[in-house]
Amino acid sequence: MYKASPLAKKIIKEKNLIIENIKGSGPNGRIIKRDLIKKNEEDNLKFKTIENFQEEQPSQIRKVIAERTSEAFKNIPHFYLRIESKIDKLINLRKIINNTNIKNKVSLNDLFIKAVAIAQKNNPQTMCSWSNNKIIKYKDVDISFAVALKEGLITPIIRSADKKGITEISKETKNLIQKAQKKELLPQEYNGGTITISNLGMYGIDEFDAIINPPQSCILALGHAKKKIIYQNDEMVTATVLKSTLSADHRILDGASAAKFLQNFNKIIENPLEIWIKSKDLKLN
């Protein structure tokens, strides 16, 4: 804490002055008004103030995000599990689908949504939430996915995603994204969900920890898939590797149950035959 006379402190506070490199000439090295004037004259400037900012009112979405994430991070005991997946077969499946279905191109994120839906259906203990010291269990697999808007994030939902095919999920995802961008989403299209997918791979982010989206019990953060040299079957090979991080609510899930879900998701995207089998709207030659 700097030493200054009461008058100097008042001037410093009122003018929001930067007082670095100002030597006090008062008793015991105190900064006095004369020192502020001298510094001003030496710099040939008016009092140096911080003016390179402006205040801005946050959007309603940003206010909700601030409230929900603060509450979630404060009240939900997060723990994190990470896994690396080789997704060359998944990428190849996408190419086959898009070469066959020219009018309805699917994204990797569409395939991730289906894979998460299958994994969650196989691990129903992750389909729950904590409310008033009770565990709420859900029957339907409803997958939320994060959409970045200028005002902040919103998480539209693919309802009963485990029962839908890839083409159907892809069409629905595109429609929900368009509605989100136009601010036309209805509350039932973004409230609820049993798990959220947050994918920052398109921004080149390798991996990250996401904050759980209440009242859900977990959120899956997907990073950037990139080529790596790995050791496999006693030889060095090149593979496309994706890093995934599961944030889980320790009030509901323990390490083993969360790990089984993540392990299952990994198995599905590394060998995506199950995605094809459980997507009855796919017709591959």
Confidence of residue 113 (pLDDT cuts 50, 70, 90): very high
Q: Which of 33, 179, 224, 250 is the catalytic position? A: 250
- The CATH number corresponding to 60-277 among 3.40.50.720, 3.40.50.300, 3.30.1490.20, 3.30.559.10 equals 3.30.559.10
Q: Establish whether 78 is a catalytic residue.
A: no
Residue range(s) in the chain whose domain bears CATH number 3.30.559.10:
60-277
| Domain boundaries for CATH 4.10.320 within the chain | 6-43
Answer yes or no: is pLDDT of 47 > 50.
no
The more confident residue out of 3 and 143 is 143
pLDDT: which is higher, 258 or 44:
258
**Confidence (pLDDT) at 233:** 79
DSSP per-residue codes, the chain:
---B-HHHHHHHHHHTB--TTPPP-SGGG-B-HHHHHHHHHHHTSS--B--S----PPPHHHHHHHHHHHHHHHHS-EEEEEEEEE-HHHHHHHHHHHHH-SSS---HHHHHHHHHHHHHHH-GGGSEEEETTEEEE-SS--EEE-EEETTEEE--EETTGGGS-HHHHHHHHHHHHHHHHTT---GGGTS--SEEEEE-GGGT----PPPP-TT-SEEEEE---EEEEEEETTEEEEEEEEEEEEEEETTT--HHHHHHHHHHHHHHHHSTHHHHHT-TT----
- Indicate the fold that domain 6-43 takes in CATH: Dihydrolipoamide Transferase (4.10.320)
Using one digit for the tens of pLDDT, what is the confidence trace for 8-34? 777 777 766 666 667 777 787 778 878
Quote the pLDDT of residue 19. 67
